[in-house]
Structure 1
Amino acid sequence: MDNSFSLFLDTYLDVWRTSSFVNFKKIIALEYKAREITAGKIVDFGYEESIEGWEQGFHFAKENTAIWIIKVVLILPLREHETMAIISATLSINGKALETGNLFFQTFKKYNNNDWKLVRSYIEAGVKLEETKS
């Protein structure tokens, strides 16, 4: 695996864990496309809707003094300059983890100067995450 991706992924997860919207926004490519499945309903969206969703999620986390519980399930090199990370995420509020969370299949692309960006996502939302525990 590309060492620059490992370094990037560590930074990406730190930005997520700290709900740093300003830094997170810089990681999403303008051409970003996503599909989210929630209770069987499919929603496709792009950059602007993603930015709005992450801003709301980070605001909720900060407002509730929540802690992100994020686990990298698997990393898959896809192409020369693309890597997928499968990530499970939920929140812990007042020391109690939510019963459900999201499973993200996120594709990152390396641009110039080892600049990685999130370009695609497939998200299963509101799922029980015990299957992803080690």
Structure 2
Amino acid sequence: MSAMITLMEDFQKFFMHYQNVWNSCNALEMNAFMSRDIAIRWAGPEASISDWGYEEAKDGWVEAYQQYEGQNPKWHFKDLHITPASENEVIATFCVTFEINGQLVDAAKLFVQRFRKEQNDEWTLMREYCEHLRSECIISRV
């Protein structure tokens, strides 16, 4: 049991860092968290679905940050559930809202991400699922 507690304590520290890097708008740092074998599925509005691998995800961070350059973007995270999935993997479920130039954007996303702690003690994002939500569903809770 103590190994799982240690894993979770380590993950919590990492996850705070991960969210700070996300808000730093540094695509290179965000891309460094991803496994080369990452599998990503985004379910968009109106039932659209996109599946991505490493290259698409890497390019996606670059494009997203370029799109918001100079607009003071900020993402707000609401952790819903974080649980160990194995002796070296953790699944994090969280919602994200977003603001540009201090104005909340009418959008929210639900993420389920699976991370693995590697032998070098670094955390790697293995899988991600994202679902678009109406912002009023979570705005008051973030």
- TM-score normalised by structure 1 residue count: 0.89
Cα drift, residue 70 of structure 1: 2.1
1:15 to 21, 43, 46: 21
1:6 to 3, 12, 22: 12
1:119 matched to 2:126: yes
- TM-score normalised by structure 2 residue count: 0.85
Cα drift, residue 130 of structure 1: 3.6
Q: Aligned partners of 2:135 and 2:85: how far apart in 1?
A: 25
2:135 to 110, 113, 129: 129
1:91 matched to 2:98: yes
1:67 alignment counterpart = 74
Q: Aligned partners of 1:17 and 1:71: how far apart in 2?
A: 14
Please, what is the CA RMSD of the aligned residues?
A: 1.6
Q: Percent identity?
A: 28
Q: Aligned partners of 1:29 and 1:13: how far apart in 2?
A: 17
Q: Aligned partners of 1:89 and 1:120: how far apart in 2?
A: 17
Give the aligned residue type for 1:82.
E
Larger-gyration structure (1/2):
2
Cα drift, residue 48 of structure 1: 0.6
1:32 to 34, 38, 54: 38
Cα drift, residue 89 of structure 1: 1.7
Q: Which has the higher strand share?
A: 1
- For each residue in 1:49-93, what CA deviation from the matched residue of structure 2 results, as whole angstroms up to 9, or x when unmatched? 111111112222333222222222221211111111112223212
Contact kept, 8 Å, 2:72 with 2:102, in 1: the verdict is no
Gaps of 5+ in 1: none
Gaps of 5+ in 2: none
2:115 alignment counterpart = 108
Matches within 5 A, 1:40-51: 40-51=47-58
Q: Aligned partners of 1:15 and 1:63: how far apart in 2?
A: 17
Which moved further from structure 2: 57-66 or 4-13?
A: 57-66
Give the aligned residue type for 1:85.
A
